[in-house]
Structure 1
Amino acid sequence: MLFSKKGALRLALMAGASFISVGQVYAQDAQVATGEEVVVRGRRPLAESQEAAMKVQKNSDSLVTVLSADAIGDLPDQNVAQAVSRLPGVGIERDQGQGRYVNLRGAPRYWTTLSFDGLSVVSPEGRQTRFDNIPSAIASQVTIQKAIVPSMPGDTVAGNVDIRTRRAFDYKGQKITGKFGLGHVELGDGQELDASLVYSNIFLDGKLGIVAQASYYSREMATENWETDPYATPRAVDTSKRFAVDTKNKHYRLTRENTSASLRFDYKFDTNNTVFASTIYSDYHDDELRDQFIVNLDGQSTNAAGVAYNSDANFTASDPKVGTVYGARLNARITYRDNYDTMATNTLGGEHRFGDALNASWRLNYTWTENRGDNPAEIRFRSGSNFASRPTVNYDFRDTSANFFELFRTTGTTTARVKGDRVMNVEDFTMPLNQISMFEAAEVTKAWTGKVDFDYQTVLFGRETKVEFGGLYTTREKENRDYGFSGSTSGSTLTYSQLAQDGGYLGEQHLGYTFRYSNRDAVLNTIATSRGSTALTENLANYWKVSEDITAAYLMATTEFDWGNIVYGARVEAINNTGEAYTFVGSTNNGLLESKSDETLVYPSVHLNWNLSDRLKARFGLTTSASRADFDDLRPNFTIDDTADSISGGNPDANPEKQVGLDAYLEYYGSNDTFFSAGVFYKDISDVLLSTSTTYGKDDLDVTGFDRTNYTYSTVINGGDGHIQGLELFASTSAESLVESHNLPAWLGGFGVRASATFTESELNLGARTISLSGTSDSVYNVQAIYEKYGLTVRLAAQYRTPWLQDIGSYTTVAGKIVPNGNGDIYWDKDLEVDLSVRYQINDNFEVFADGVNLTNDGAARFGDTDQYPIEYEKFGKRFIAGVRFNF
């Protein structure tokens, strides 16, 4: 944009001189005196990021979506999950309002893999990768590879999220960037802190580059949550009714922290040979204290005449949505969770060129992860068996966002019960101590990987062709160790009130009672005292170790034509799994079980990239892939409960879930941040992995006095075939060209929009019924309204997705109708998040920012089988943060 001296000075004063300082204006007096104009420019971070991303995307030989850092190396969000949620075809599964898992094009989350700088790494959770523990500060670019090529691992099904880390040679000399932000969490009146620092420099006459990064994020918050879960199986007298077994309020107070650090060295021996060493560390910590109040409706509750709540007569006469139960058992539960999700990945590698035709790269990697799920304390209180000591409860589940219950005294006789006076304070009911326990669990994964890749430029079939080939060997071992202490403490005089502290309610939802939050120090002291007095007994359970060795080789070629190119080839993977685990019956160890399996899989693929014009590109792909059962699903151990007649465990014989995919996309690359794409995709799926319950059917676990052949067995099996198909649309444009061509006011050129929509349909045939795949929403929409001009960047972003399946439930036949056996299939309800990000560039070195998250204060809801039976609703409030970014 061009301005006179007077106009430039006025603009500089108004806008903080982000593009040209006041001193710079006066320094150009000689230029202005001759009638020349001063060029005033401001950074446009979103436009810079989009421009860089489009260059990579257009030149890619397969279907990718790219998120690139802006000119100073910033991505726009705190973690990678939030950052990629703005991209087309991406759906996010959140936890406590924070993006965690990625669903690509509506596919299950375990179909998405993670890599750093092109090398796949394991996640602390296993096959399903968490992205909330990866801060965006470590990344210069994120590439989502949606169409699989032979150089990628075969278990990449929906796609791979590749994080290109920062490297010193991305910049010219020394560079220091970072940010510091301080914010407020509305629900719970907590504090949010976000800080990062990156240092990069080049030494030894341009041969050695070093970049170091560190970041820290924390958030204090409260969460309000109700759950009406589970529902009882409908009865033959009226299969249209589903009555709740329990209803509860969970009152959370928590602090979440993300800490990361990375260090990378790059050394250039010469223009043909470079080596590097990198280490990346990330730690996610969830410190959470829950206070729960649970009404057991299906226990000894009755109607006024003493008829049982769960009887046929009551099913006929009562309303499952609103009513009164008499003498319901009341429970209080204090749970302290202290969970860590830690990853350290270390890589040594090199890039080499031999002449003009042959290139080679190699990688050696060691990755260590730990997923800790500790419960340092759980204390349970439960009302007695005498109906007069338990409350009469009014329940109201008609408002699916505000299920609640009210408490009253219970008087009268066993067969003529009376609702007495209203009780507001839940602590007024006697709830003796029922159980006390603590639990420690750690899953540790160790993985070694060696990888080598070559590409050779040659002529094949008379056409220029790049031939790529290479191999990989990786060995992974995941070990799980659980142990804890528990005990029933009958006769104890401990009450909930002794562990409570004064203070107001931190939530906003309507409660039919008052309560006090527990005191963490008092809770932990109770656990320590109980362990010291041997009131608790040690429980060892669920030890298992699963190893996986993969040997892979691939060959692929890219043949060039006047109109584009064809990429074709195949990958071969030999997979060997071993497992060992102890089988426990209660606390009795029945010995070590071992398992072995091996399989060789071949993954062919072909892609066609057709340049219809300089701006218009068509892409077609045929791919194959297979997702393997998670490590814990392959464990060979069993947990046996002779009281409940049940067995649960892994399935070492589970086969990979195989997919064949088709893609057809059209892309238009315009000017001035203009891009359009449309595509269709289809995947045929066989041997789908399912969590299921069935009859065990074998006698190898029988012992004297216990015939376990007919026990209920919960495990993972291959069951059913299916498909997923969909349409993906994306558009990005700004008003700049329109403003310039029509000579409109220049400030209007800052407006822009980015919008995407993904429409997905999936089907999984289970024989008796047909369902959708987990993680599949019918529709996912992303819209960003942008204004970027004069150093000011404003982005209003919204993501909306329709309901999606979380877990497959069980069904049974009652009175000739197929009905949910309990909750049935569990779904997440529709989800909306609206965020606002504002940046203002003060000068070349400083930028201020302010962000608002979940501005519409939407919550997260789940339901069982249909949305008429909600099982959970959770709210976490709005968040606001402001701060400064710096760049030197």
Structure 2
Amino acid sequence: MKLSAALLGAASSLALCAVSGTAFAQHAVTGLIIDDRGNPLPGARVRVADQGLTATTNRQGEFEFSALPAGDINIEVSYLGLPTATRTMSVSDTGRNAFTFTLSASETMDRIVITGQILDGAARALNQQRTNSATTNIVSADAIGRFPDANIAEALQRVPGFAIQRDQGEGRSIQLRGAPAEFTSIQINGVSLASPDEGSRAIDMDTISSDVVAAIEVSKTLLPNQEADSIAGVVNLITRSPFDRRGPRLNATAGGSYNEIGGTNDWRGSFVASNTFGEDDRIGALFSASYSRTNRQIDNIENDWDFVNVGGQDVAVSDDFTLKDYDTRRTRISFTGALEFRPDDATRFALRGSWSQFEDFEFRNRLTYDLGGLQPGATDTSATWNSARLLRQLRNRSYENTIWTIAGTGEHDFGASRLDYTLGFTRTEGDRPRGFELVYRTGANRTVSQDFTNFDEPVISPFQTGEQLDLTGIGFRQVVDRTNLNIQEEWSGRINWIMDGQLFGHAAEHRIGASARLRDTSHDEERWRDRSGALAPADFNGLFGTERSQNFGYLLGNKFDEGRIQDYYFSIRDQLRTDAFRLDDSSVESDYELEEKIYAAYGMTRVQRGATEVIAGLRVEHTDFSSTAFRYDELTNTATPNSNSRDYTNWFPNLTVRHEFNDNLVGRFALTRSIARPNYPDVVARIFLNDDGDEVERGNPDLNPTLSNNLDAGLEYYFEPLGLVAVNVFYKDLTDYEFTLRTPGVFEGAPVDFIQAENAPDGFIRGIEFTWQQTFTFLPGLLGNTGVFANATFTDSEMDIGRTIAGRSKFPLSGQSDYVYNVALFYEDSRFNARLSWNDRGDYIDSVNASDPRLDTYWEERSQLDFSASVTLTDRFELFVEGKNLTDSEGIRYDGVRRRVQERERFGQSWFLGARFNY
């Protein structure tokens, strides 16, 4: 393997810098902080005041001091939601010292703080967030479980700074602080994930069930020991450990839902089983599983807009009106496992794995009026067309996203120094085994009038007269099938050496490390099409069933019968998937293979001076990239490989400061640098001519990665019993931002539109976040059991492409909303809790039309109200109910202005009833 001399030199220099000033301790003290139910308390602050030392407990409630004098010491433990306590411990001058510290509520403290399910999760999250060096947000499993969020994307929408993009009403991809989804790195237990999507590095977060994680840790500012490909931040999904709570443990959840549209049902279930055993519980094992199946029906209207000249003025008209009636079945399965061994207090080994699969099976009826022959007198609200076609289409497609990770870790504590290492493997698959379409259409001989006075539900003349049900003259157009398989595999390894010492007379921690990530990617696509009629159904009308298709206020006629369509499809599939019907150019030119190797080294020092903590360091990453794609020659029936390779090295300096103005007020400041490498199809040397011959997608091997210099600053005020008020500002100065541009040109003698990714020289993202969390214990009676979680994020963005196109050179970043709000009001006592949650994000641009700004596409502002509640029947059993989208909010996409609706989609409400068992 190639490793640049510069990288080796950097690693050596960093190591020398970090080792300087190291001092070795004599007496190590470790401890475990638990509550009076035996649960570990993560994020507790442990102080030895007379020594000026502070430690923080990890997720298992453990802490360590590597150098304490022998004799009696006073240890102070503080944890939001519980009273601060002090204990005197005796430190032996031989061997390691281990203590267990139980932190209990006082008799006067409201027990809801330590027994309530909502507030217990909030306490764990707040304590970890308060003591972290960088700007972070923590979401505990308890907090996730109190929202009606079935996947990770929907769980993250409640976190400050996050917005989600939905697919058919369900959260799919995430955007942090207004940045594109590709700017956020996703990890499982610290192992970076590759995307199953062939078109983007962004991870489809609906693949992973929210039931299988113990916590979600969001790092909004990076430290040098973290991978640099995280301009917006890092989302680390932490799966459960058997040492989260020692001893036998079993948790199970099951239930079902009723969905408003179609009267369908969803089912969901999960369980976690774990135990610790052996002498002193030094061995632990855990297994968890989650299963869900949703059956949804979706209403959908779509329009294609363009401008035509009428009487010397441009008039916006819709020349394509489409109704889509979706029946979908989505299945999500996730497993996690862990085997951990702690032979002594200084050594730990763990093997952790996860497997998640998301399958989407779609059966879609579509009715389209393809409009032509515009008549005089058209306006922005009305038009008549006399050369219209009616199309009836059936699409039956399925795809599976699979994400698999496994990692082995080791930790060794030598007192004054520590060593940890990880070897990981991840494999992701995006498999589209079926992309079947059957299309029939009439001649261009129908007359259609349209009235867009009500732009959400326009009046289309055939649906007033019933002409849309007349299939006279409809004929076979085509039958299409498509498969697509995208596989990414990555081996990764990292090693870290941490040393205690001093710097300028103050306690310091020095850290050096190195890592490598070796990724292989392959993309294989096959397409087949019959337009000759050789494989056309013998009886088109016989494919329809008796169920009517009603989409909003429009009647499409009878639906295609799923069983009959399946019988027809499997009767022709093998014949269709032969060379006689293969689209060779599409099949070959979509394929590519690539390798990407990323080597990194870093050094950093953490120094504590009184209430101020300073971290300074440097990271260097070297990237090797190579790829091969193919160009198909129809004249010779041959495929010619196109290969490209490049390598580059980037440096990432880092300064992070954390200051405690007092026990409650924490300030943070960070100057960092980060990177976003190009999406693979955009940088692979490929040329793909579409089936109609009017568009050429072209890779850009000269595409540079996006670099960002980041400034973050914030203040957080924590108050009892569980309160937080915080404000954070951020600015990201972008260089070489990647965007996609469509430009006219000539290809092989014919006019085409070229679609290619390019770099914008300059850009920025800036914004401010506000967070408010409080329990209203000061209110009288039952009101004292209420509280609020609220946050708001305001962002602005811009990219300057360095040239003027259609009068513009500056554009907002895709997906950036000016605001995102979350408000959740809750009530909780010892047996009952309820939460009403409201989420809102503003309009955002979806795509830029470089040639006509009036046709830029936006998603409209969308708000949603959700409800969840649970009642504890016994110490081990509870019932819960969840209501989603109580506002019946829709998804609206429009071109330029709101009245030009491009897409309107309705999902309806759903209600879920379930039960939980805890042991």
Counterpart of 1:713? 754
**Where do 5+ consecutive residues of structure 1 fail to align?**
1-35, 304-313, 409-420, 813-818
| 2:453 alignment partner in structure 1 | 398
Q: 2:486 aligned with 1:443, yes or no?
A: yes
Q: CA RMSD in A?
A: 2.4
- Shift in CA distance, 134/75, structure 1 to aligned 2, threshold 3 Å: farther
Question: Which residue in the other structure is 1:751 paired with?
Answer: 786
Aligned partner (choices 210, 214, 228) of residue 303 of structure 2: 228
1:558-597 to structure 2, matched below 5 A, reads: 558-584=606-632, 588-597=637-646
Alignment of 1:524-563 (within 5 A): 524-531=566-573, 537-539=581-583, 540-541=587-588, 542-563=590-611
Q: Which residue of 2 aligns with 1:280?
A: 354
Please tell me whether residue 267 in structure 1 is matched to residue 298 in structure 2. no
Tell me the SS of whatever aligns to 1:46: helix
Match of 1:684 in 2: 733
Give a deviation string over 1:815-851, Cα, whole Å, max 9, x none. xxxx55xxx3221111111110001111210111000
Q: Decide whether aligned partners of structure 1 residues 627 and 71 sit closer, same or farther in structure 2, where only a CA change above 3 A counts.
A: closer
Out of 21, 32, 54, the position equivalent to 2:126 is 54
Aligned equivalent of 1:330:
390
CA 1:37–1:437 in structure 2 vs 1: closer, same or farther (change >3 Å)? closer
Cα distance between partner residues in 2 of 1:720 and 1:589: 38
- Secondary structure of residue in 2 paired with 1:172: coil
- How far did residue 84 of structure 1 move? 1.8
**Displacement of 1:497 after TM fit?**
2.4
Q: Give the Cα separation in 2 of the matches to 1:685 and 1:858.
A: 35
Cα separation, partners in 2 of 1:642 and 1:192, compared to 1, 3 Å: closer
Q: 2: CA distance between counterparts of 1:427 and 1:265?
A: 64
Whole-angstrom CA distance in 2 between matches of 1:685 and 1:38: 49
Counterpart for residue 674 of structure 1 = 723
Offset of residue 718 of structure 1: 0.9
Shift in Å, 1:586? 6.2
Query: For the Cα contact (< 8 Å) 1:43–1:791, is it kept in 2?
Result: no
The alpha-carbon deviation at position 75 of structure 1 amounts to 7.7
* 1:98–1:749 Cα change, 3 Å: same
Closer, same or farther in 2 for the Cα pair 1:546/1:43, shift >3 Å? same
Does structure 1 conserve the Cα–Cα contact (< 8 Å) formed by 2:736 and 2:760?
yes
Aligned-pair CA distance for 1:190:
1.1
1:510 matches 2:569: no
- Output aligned runs, 1:833-844, within 5 Å: 833-844=864-875
Matched residue type, 1:840? V
Distance 1:882 1:170 in 2: 28
How many residues get paired? 796
Q: Deviations over 1:109-143 (max 9, x none)?
A: 11111111222222322511221111122211111
Q: Take 1:369 and 1:238, find their aligned partners in 2: how far apart are those partners?
A: 55
Give the aligned partner of residue 908 of structure 2: 877
Output aligned runs, 1:316-327, within 5 Å: 317-327=377-387
Going from structure 1 to structure 2, the CA distance change for 1:273 and 1:237 (only over 3 Å counts) comes to: farther
- In the alignment, structure 1 residue 522 sits paired with structure 2 residue 522: no
Q: What amino acid is the match of 1:520?
A: E
Q: Note if 1:724 corresponds to 2:765.
A: yes
User: Which 10-residue stretch deviates more, 322-331 or 146-155?
Assistant: 322-331
Gap change, CA 1:530 and 1:586, over 3 Å in 2: farther
Structure 2 residue matching 1:293: 3-state secondary structure: strand
2:368: which partner in 1? Answer: 294
Alpha-carbon spacing, 1:666–1:248, altered in 2? closer, same or farther (3 Å): same
Correspondent of 1:790 among 815, 830, 833: 830
Offset of residue 783 of structure 1:
0.3
Flag the 1:867–1:765 CA change in 2: closer, same or farther, 3 A. Answer: farther
Residue equivalent to 2:859: 828
> Matched residues, percent identical?
26
Pairing of 1:73-92 with structure 2 (within 5 A) = 77-92=149-164
Deviations 1:50-107 (A, max 9, x none): 1001110011001001111339998863222122211111111111111111111121
Give the secondary structure class of the aligned counterpart of 2:118: helix
Matched ranges for 1:243-262 at <5 A:
243-262=317-336
More strand by share: 2
Q: Deviations over 1:674-721 (max 9, x none)?
A: 111012111111111011123568xxxx8xxx447x743211111242
Aligned to 1:121: 193
3-state DSSP class of the match of 1:82? helix
**Aligned counterparts of 2:700 and 2:479: Cα–Cα separation in 1:** 32
Moved more, 210-219 or 40-49: 40-49
AA paired with 1:161?
V
Match of 1:803 among 838, 843, 850: 843
> Is contact 2:799–2:811 with CA below 8 Å preserved after alignment?
yes
Change (3 A) 1:87 1:180: same
The change in CA–CA distance for 1:71 and 1:442 in structure 2 (over 3 A counts) is: closer
Separation in structure 1 between the aligned mates of residue 109 and residue 518 of structure 2, nearest angstrom: 61
The 2-side partners of 1:357 and 1:38 are apart by: 39
Contact 2:814 2:847 in 1 (8 A): yes
Provide the rounded CA distance (Å) in 2 between the counterparts of 1:585 and 1:487: 21
Query: Aligned pair in 2 of structure 1 residues 506, 50: CA closer, same or farther (>3 Å)?
Result: farther
Aligned-pair distance for 1:144? 0.7
In the TM superposition, what are the counterparts of 1:28-39 in structure 2 within 5 Å?
none
Conserved? CA contact 2:144–2:210, under 8 Å: no
- Partner SS for 1:632: helix
Match of 2:171 among 99, 103, 108: 99
Separation of aligned partners in 1, 2:581 and 2:176: 46
Distance in 1 of aligned mates of 2:692 and 2:141: 57
- Distance in 2 of aligned mates of 1:143 and 1:39: 28
Which residue in the other structure is 1:627 paired with?
676
Give the direction of change, closer, same or farther, for the CA distance of 1:637–1:610 in structure 2 (3 Å limit): same
Whole-angstrom CA distance in 2 between matches of 1:329 and 1:169: 65
Question: Paired residue for 2:403, among 312, 329, 343?
Answer: 343
Match of 1:372 among 431, 438, 443: 431
The separation in 1 between residues aligned to 2:434 and 2:306, in whole angstroms, is: 29
Question: Separation in 2 of the partners of 1:574 and 1:402?
Answer: 54
Q: Does the residue aligned with 1:56 lie in a helix, a strand or coil?
A: helix
One-letter identity of the residue aligned with 1:762: S
Q: Which runs of 5+ in 2 are unaligned?
A: 1-106
Judged with a 3 Å threshold, the aligned counterparts in structure 2 of structure 1 residues 589 and 720 are, in CA distance, closer, same or farther, namely: farther
Secondary structure of the 2:124 match is: helix
Determine the C-alpha separation between the residues in 1 that align with 2:468 and 2:689: 40
- Call closer, same or farther: CA 1:293–1:589 in 2, change over 3 Å: farther
Cα distance in 2 for partners of 1:39, 1:121 equals 42
- Aligned CA distance change for structure 1 residues 114 and 238 (closer, same or farther; 3 Å): farther
8 Å CA contact 1:266, 1:275 repeated in 2:
yes
Secondary structure of the corresponding residue to residue 795 of structure 1: strand
Distance apart, 1:189 and its partner CA = 1.3
SS at match of 1:498: helix
Query: Structure 1 residues 340 and 170 mapped into 2: Cα distance closer, same or farther (>3 Å)?
Result: same
Question: 1:590-614: CA deviations, max 9, x gaps?
Answer: 3111110111011112111111111
Cα pair 1:111 1:158 within 8 Å, conserved: yes
Q: Residues 68, 532 of structure 1: CA spacing in aligned structure 2 closer, same or farther, 3 A cutoff?
A: closer
Separation (CA, whole Å) in 2 of partners of 1:886 and 1:496: 52
Indicate if the aligned counterparts of 2:699 and 2:756 stay in contact, CA closer than 8 A: yes
Deviations for 1:175-198, whole angstroms, at most 9, x for unmatched residues?
A: 000100111111121111110010
* 1:455 counterpart (498, 506, 513): 498
Aligned twin of 1:816: none
- Name 1:861's counterpart in structure 2: 892
Q: 1:15: which partner in 2?
A: none
The answer to whether 1:69 aligns with 2:124 is no
| 8 A Cα contact 2:367 2:556, kept in partner | no
Q: Is the 8 A contact 2:294 2:329 kept in 1?
A: yes
TM-score by length of 2: 0.83
Question: In the alignment, which residue of structure 2 is the partner of 1:17?
Answer: none
Q: Which moved more, 1:634-643 or 1:274-283?
A: 634-643
Asked whether the 8 Å contact 2:146–2:835 carries over to 1, the reply is no
- Structure 1 residue 639 corresponds to structure 2 residue 677: no
Residues 501-534 of structure 1: CA deviation (Å, up to 9, x unaligned): 1113365x111x4411112232233334445566
AA at the equivalent of 1:434: R
